[in-house]
Chain A
Amino acid sequence: MARAIIATSKLRLVFQVGMDDDGKPLLKAKTFNNIQKLATADQLLQAAQAVINLSNETLSSIERVDSSELLA
């Protein structure tokens, strides 16, 4: 059975910076590399909240980006 092992984790904060001419939201992302692979969703949310507290931007979403290595 093949396995997927997390190689790197990133935390991505997506901010809404305005609207375009068609009324669609304009998004801007800030990515934090160097995230613990073993971090739980709760821990990531706690860290993201701390960052957002210092930011003046309007939050759109908080994302976790993992990339895994596949092993046979």
Chain B
Amino acid sequence: MAKTLELEFVTEYGKPARLSIENPKEPIEEAVVKAAMEEMIASGVFTSTNGNFASVKGARVIDRNVTEYEIV
């Protein structure tokens, strides 16, 4: 099971921007995620084609399950 934490931001022009983190620390705590996202915005290093990251929109975990079948 491969889990990915997807952080959703809003840029200075009001457009969405995403940043993903593989294998996130669990359990996910909303307050910790929010604080880390605010820290990322405060650092001012992340940008996108739609402008710099300006505010926190949300976060979600994507759980990907792959089942392989041996078909000869």
| Interface residue B26 (Cβ < 8 Å from any Cβ of A) | yes
Total A-B pairs, Cβ < 8 A = 66
| Interface residue B12 (Cβ < 8 Å from any Cβ of A) | no
Query: How many residues of B are in contact with the other chain, CB < 8 A?
Result: 23
Q: Are B22 and A54 in contact (CB under 8 A)?
A: no
Q: Are B22 and A35 in contact (CB under 8 A)?
A: no
Question: Interface residue tally of chain A, by bracket?
Answer: 10 to 19
- Chain B interface SS verdict (over half): mixed
Given contacts A36-B45, A56-B23, 16 further A-B contacts (CB under 8 A): A30-B22, A34-B48, A39-B43, A46-B39, A46-B42, A46-B45, A47-B43, A47-B46, A50-B36, A50-B39, A51-B19, A51-B21, A53-B39, A55-B25, A56-B25, A57-B23
A residues engaging B (CB < 8 A)? 11, 30, 32, 34-36, 39, 43-44, 46-47, 49-51, 53-57
